[in-house]
Structure 1
Amino acid sequence: MKLHNPLAIDDEFYLNGVKFIVHDIQAPNIFYYREEGDKKIREINYITLLEDLTFKGPDKVVKISAKNESNVEKKVTFMLDTLIPDRKRKTVLRLNLIKPILLYDKAKQGDMYALNSFNEIYKGYLKGNETITKLTKKELLARVSKNSKESGDKKISPRQLERYLQAYYESENNRENFGVEGLISKAYYNAHSREDEKAIQILHPKKDEIILDTIYCRVENEEYVPLIEKGIKRFLSKKRRKITHLHSDLEILCSAQKLDPLLYDTVYKMVKRINVQIYDRLSKGIMEAEYHDPVTQRVSGYFARCPLNVIEIDHVKLPIKLIDETTGSDLGEPWLTLAIDVYTRMIWGFDLSFQSPSGHKVMCAIYNGICLKRAKEMYGTINDWEMHGIPTVIYMDNGPEFNNTFVKSMIEDELHAEVRYRPVATPRYGGIIERFFRTINDEFLDQLLGFYSKGNSVEERQAAKKEAILTLSDLTELLVRYFVDVYHFDTHRGLPLDQDTPAVRFHQAINIMGYPPSIPANQEESYLIKLLPVDMKSYDKDGIREENVRYASPETSRFVNTRLKKNVKIKFDVRDISKIYILDSTNQVYIEVPSISPPAEQVQGMSRDLYKAIRKELIATGKINKRQILGTDQIIEGKRLIQERFEKMVNKNASMRKHILNKGGTLSVSLSSVEPLKRTTPSKAQSLIEKYNNQRNGTGK
């Protein structure tokens, strides 16, 4: 997908078809002038600039072409999704080989975000105190080539790496940010995929609870997995690590379990998949390596060198009771999935819902993070929510909702970011986000009706349930206002004294480095499709059946195949069952396909969970059988039955709430609902904004 390159001073861009040059950056505003014209300095808010559909970033200036641009925007292809898994992995492997060289090229062109990414991820290619300014491209190619051999695979020569680079850049020139498609080997489009890949956890030689990495290798059955993990653990404990010794150890272990020995080539390829930074960590010792270890302290504020360098993500169940916006019945506590930028402490993205932690909630938070927030327009905030874009590293817990194939593929293959997991049973490594969870409890939630302390008694929780008045949409609005107008302007002890608020920290970085890469507003929907989960389904004469919903369209009728099962690849959004996306492998595009039974217009915006609840209620009352797909009348009847059940569940002591709702009133709230209506002193948000402006102007704190 197309990204806006970071804007910096002297960069050129187009607006309404006119070419301009950036004169200065004083975040959140850009000062610019027209290259050919009156040279008058103009000022524009950066978020406003990005939201303008006529804006073309600096990467478009060299070869601007309105015709080509319009074609690209109308047809976004997904060639990688047409590949068999084995070929896709090999393509991504080639991309990973040349990533340090791609970042090197950008850094040499003055891209400070690329420079920080190189120093963050590929510092191992620098010797001693060497810096990237002293490193030649020829030498870097040689080091990457050498590393490819030491990793266990056959050596990729510098010349071959140059071919990969050439293919990447040629594809990038044809369609920006699709350079990876140039790395696809056409000879293997029809290769057979393998089903025997097993996940191997790379454990620390002395501490089993620390998982250093996870690799995948092809073995006949699961019995090999613990043997391989044991052999690699011993392999890593040695100062002289020879693959022949590991192969011999595994032969002995397999023989003891009466298993066929692994081939040397299998062991060889296995070792090459281990992250090379692990060797550096172990050779220098655990305590020394914590200073720059991807698993530990490297994600602290000190080592996050710029905005979007490192993002932490985690879940928490908020201790506040919410009610249904229609009936007033108690719905319980929501789950908050939050992503925070380590360098600035600004909130990058979030998802608030009643859905339990899952890969899909992680996807929603990440999608929120990479896109423009439009907080002023949607929630009436005082300030813009400026933090958005593609991060370098995403740092997560080891829970199953994070450590799974869907999430890893979404981050690594689609966003081209790096995934890191904090060690098991070490919450201190997620300290930044854990502290924020305590902050919203102490400084925000405890001001709201329905809040309870986690240590409260059952009676106190029941009292919170009785006084609850907020709905999910209410709490979402209040949270966004708290993030944008209060938290981003409040003092943080973990930040430097001269940049002790997230807003000041962010804007000072932007003034020096320019804005980080971001997604054009008109490409956000395409990015959502990229991030959605994928599945294989059968397309028969009645269409595709997915979770008791039928999907079909005249455009996709050509995919009907009654003999071949699971013949089409689909993507779906569990928040909206009215449509799915089917991959047209010939044209490498996803086609939107509406539901036909029930009709799309009847279930638009309906989540999969609500649809399941309606079916369950109708089956329980004998209205339909288990195989039956709902019609329009049954959807309406199901909603009525659920509403009746909710009304019966309404707490009897919440009569006033119910009375207001029955009279047609609403339970909506705003920020003023939790603060006095009349104030003789400025609000906290106003005070913090005033303090921020004073810091920027150098007039004090």
Structure 2
Amino acid sequence: MEEHASPIAERGTLGLSEEARQEAQHRYPVIAPLAAQELVSALDARGAAALLGMSTRSVYTLVARFRASGGLMSSLAPGKPSGGRGRSRMPERVDDIVTAAIYDTYLTRQKRRIVRLVEEVQLRCKKAGLLAPSAKTIRRRLETIRAEEVALRRDGPRSIAARRLTSAAGHGPVPRGPLDIVQIDHTPVDIILVDEITRLPVGRPWLTVAIDVYSRCIAGFLVSFEAPSATSVGLCLAHTGVDKSSYLDGLGLDTEWPIAGVPRLLHLDNAAEFHGEALARGCQQHGIDLEYRPKGQPHFGGVIERLIGTLMGLVHDLPGTTFSNPAERGTYDSDATAVLTLSELEHWLALAISGRYHHEVHEGIMEPPLSRWKRGIAEHEDPRPVANSREYLVDFLPVVRRTIQRDGFTLDHITYYSDVLRPWIANRNRCRSFLIRRDPRDLSQIFVLEPGGRSYVTVPCRRLERPRISLFEHRQAIRTIRAGGRAQVDEEVIFRTVEQQRGLVKAAAKKSRAARRQLARQTPVRESSVDRVAVMPAIETEVAGDDQAADLVPFPMERW
């Protein structure tokens, strides 16, 4: 089973025979862990060679090919039969010398010329008493090595050539089973949506999506008009963790989407929304490790980037698509053809994911994602379940700290009170500041971590008759009030201003696209995907005790 380098990964699954596909699957559990190591030791290479029945040189070749392909299983498929086109006709000992010389002499940062490689091969063959191949043969042998590997070894991973040639999936960590590694990212969706009421164009929404790297199944998503934020990440994680049967039933979909549970590792980019206290504390609470892409190496995390490209390709078939760029769009009028609302796009995405994407053969793993998930569940331990979906969401909501006052807690000029606060108010001189979470989509309540640190208490707005407003509306009201010359801002004025603004926006919605988008953003009563998954239970959650919490290193305050 001697293996030579060949651009097999470029052929994808369609170009592989059943025998080649099975051989690639056989090699994957041996080669993938080696590829995850920074340096493959000779001992590990010999062990892998014994398991696979090949030489250590072939093991190194497979590892390099697997890395260069971005972790595609298809890169491990056997090449064409010996002696055929694209395969070496050199005797094995000569081929070994040529391969070693290529890696020792040519594929180094010294960037030696090919003529120097030819000289080195001739010298080594002479010492071994072997007939050296011609320069043309050596060049052909060199051409069988993937351009990605050549660029990485000669120019380094941060070079322009390496970034351009390296597969988008990069060289990230290799998952051990379902939900072992989950990647999350955001993208504007390539489509213009319309208002729920007026059916007039509103603009492009944002998509936050999570993918299970092991199975390539989509673990959860959020579609919203809000730009990416800590809340977007939290809501996407909440959707990732919970059973989606109720969600699909609520949409009227008779499909299967069994992906649910707590991921072991979250793989993220370096955007600000991935570095806040809410995400860090939520992950600490649920035992989730965080790993960020190395700076200057954007090809890391490419599994999620490929997924986004796949989803946008599906979106390009919808009316109102903007396509990927103006050149591709041409004269197509996205606004004039737009027909879908935000909720309708969410419905369409849920169907596209659970009814189509999960069932189509994925080139990276050479089988449907759902089949890979089910096989992984059968062969590995089940992912940790989420015991309480609403509690799980709260643990990822943005965090603030406030001291308790005689009338409860005041956040941004809004006072929150409940009788449950009475014992804390009575002892407020001995209480330190409280950790508070709130959902920026709905400021009608907050979640307060009790002093013992064992549970969250839901505390409503003191004036229960207040309407639900979003943080977006609240900030708009504050700006309007201060622009009107008022130095002092109180709760009554804020809510009155919000009501007035809602009326103005609704009146302007038929005239202004900006107003319609503002209306879509500020309306807090629209039921989200997470809201449909879970009914609000009593929020009880195990967290660090008060003494332990005091020892935690504080995070910088984050903006919502």
- TM-score for the superposition, normalised by structure 1: 0.46
Match of 2:326 among 452, 456, 473: 456
Secondary structure at 2:300 match in 1: helix
Native 8 Å contact 1:312 1:340 kept in 2: yes
Structure 2 residue aligned with 1:640: 503
Matched, 1:583 2:436: no
Query: AA paired with 1:309?
Result: D
| Letter in structure 2 aligned against 1:627 | V
SS of the equivalent of 2:509 reads: helix
In structure 2, which of residues 480, 484, 491 is the aligned counterpart of residue 629 of structure 1?
491
Aligned mates of 2:432, 2:498 — CA distance in 1: 28
State the partner residue of 1:408. Answer: 280
Partner of 1:417: 288
* Number of residue equivalences: 359
Residue in 1 that maps onto 2:408: 543
Cα 1:434/1:297, change in 2 over 3 Å: closer
Distance 1:437 1:120 in 2: 25
Q: Give the match for residue 8 of structure 1.
A: none
Looking at structure 2, the residues matched to 454 and 119 of structure 1 have their Cα atoms a distance apart, in angstroms, of 37
Q: Is the 8 A contact 1:306 1:343 kept in 2?
A: yes
Q: 1:306 to 1:119 in 2, by over 3 A?
A: farther
Please point out which of 366, 385, 410 is paired with 1:518: 385
Please state how far the C-alpha of 1:473 moved relative to its aligned partner.
1.1
Q: 1:530 to 1:459 in 2, by over 3 A?
A: closer
SS at match of 2:473: helix
Give the match for residue 569 of structure 1. Answer: 435
1:340 corresponding residue in structure 2: 211
Residues 646, 574 of structure 1: CA spacing in aligned structure 2 closer, same or farther, 3 A cutoff?
Answer: same
Letter in structure 1 aligned against 2:360: D
Q: In the alignment, what sits opposite 2:358? A: 488
Separation of aligned partners in 1, 2:395 and 2:305? 30
Tell me the distance in 1 between the aligned counterparts of 2:36 and 2:243: 26
- Fraction of identical pairs, as percent: 26
Q: Is the CA contact 2:403–2:433 (under 8 Å) kept in the aligned structure 1? A: yes
Distance 2:35 2:397 in 1: 28
Q: 1:572 aligns to what SS in structure 2?
A: strand
- In 2, Cα distance between equivalents of 1:492 and 1:589: 43
Deviations 1:242-301 (A, max 9, x none): xxxxxxxxxxxxxxxxxxxxxxxxxxxxxxxxxxxxxxxxxxxx99xxxxxxxx96636x
Shift of 1:534: 2.3
Q: Paired residue for 1:506?
A: 373
> Which residue number in structure 2 is paired with residue 245 of structure 1?
none
Letter paired with 1:408: A
**Structure 2 counterpart of 1:603:** 467
Query: Residue type of the partner of 1:548?
Result: H
SS in 2 for 1:420: strand
User: C-alpha displacement at 1:527, in angstroms?
Assistant: 2.1
Contact 1:571–1:581 at 8 Å: present in 2 too? yes
Q: 1:384-395 to 2 correspondence within 5 Å?
A: 384-395=256-267
How many Å separate the matches in 1 of 2:310 and 2:293?
22
The match for 1:54 is: none
Distance 1:562 1:429, change over 3 A: closer
Q: 1:566 to 1:603 in 2, by over 3 A?
A: farther
Q: Is the 8 A contact 2:170 2:301 kept in 1?
A: no
Distance 1:466 1:619, change over 3 A: farther
Quote how far apart the aligned CAs of 1:458 are.
Answer: 12
Q: Distance in 1 between matches of 2:487 and 2:250?
A: 42
Query: CA shift at 1:320, angstroms?
Result: 1.2
Partner-residue secondary structure (3-state), 1:640: helix
5+ long unaligned stretches in structure 2: 1-32, 45-155, 158-168, 517-560
Match of 2:346 in 1: 476
Contact 2:413 2:489 in 1 (8 A): yes
Whole-Å Cα distance in 2 between the matches of residues 650 and 590 of structure 1? 40
Deviation string, structure 1 residues 404-437 (Cα, Å, up to 9, x no partner): 44323322x1121221111223232122111111
Match of 1:372 among 240, 243, 246: 243
Q: CA deviation at 1:306?
A: 1.3
* Range with greater deviation from structure 2 (525-534 or 612-621): 612-621
Indicate conservation of the 8 Å contact 1:392/1:418, yes or no.
yes
Structure 2 CA distance, aligned partners of 1:609 and 1:619? Answer: 16
1:349–1:368 Cα contact (<8 Å) kept: yes
- Given the two structures, how large is their TM-score scaled by the length of structure 2? 0.57
Contiguous gaps of at least 5 residues in structure 1: 1-117, 130-285, 288-295, 655-701
Distance in 1 (CA, whole Å) between partners of 2:408 and 2:38 is: 51
Distance in 2 (alpha carbons) for counterparts of 1:458 and 1:304? 36
Distance of aligned partners of 1:476 and 1:575 in 2 relative to their CA distance in 1, 3 Å threshold: same
Instruction: Say if 2:263 is the partner of 1:398.
Output: no
